[in-house]
Amino acid sequence: MARRTTHRTSKGTKLYAKRAKDGTFKDIQTFKRAHAADLRKKSGAEAAEAVVNTMKSALETAVKTVKKTAKKVTKKKTAKAKPAPKKVAAKKPAAKKATAKKTMKKAAPKKKAAKKGAMKR
């Protein structure tokens, strides 16, 4: 990385002056902008640590998932077999109720009416 030298403007703003290898000024940046860029950039150690942490969390999630699945499988195997549900006979349709008049017609036969004209002489 190029070396930086600090300067201040007439207003008091802090500046970084980047120097080339021969010592001449290469670029001048405000401290605020240069510092923000430094914060955004991660070092090699930080990047490696971030990768390791990501892998650890992924591994922990995978282990939890496998444990849950294993519990479900063992519960299914060790659970007692449930008795088969009782079969209920199909309900027969209800018999139609006969009305009183129909019952009377069937029960008592009608009397035949006497012929009126036969009695006369």
Binned average pLDDT, 10 residues per bin, the chain of 121 residues: 75 86 84 84 85 92 89 70 70 64 59 60 55
Q: What is the pLDDT of residue 55?
A: 93
Helices and strands (DSSP H and E) totals, the chain: 3, 3
pTM for this entry: 0.32
| Chain-centroid distance, C-alpha 108 | 74
Instruction: Supply the pLDDT for residue 10.
Output: 87
Distances (CA, A) of 96 to 91, 93, 99, 101: 15, 9, 9, 14
pLDDT at 58: 92
Task: Give the pLDDT score at 120.
Answer: 56
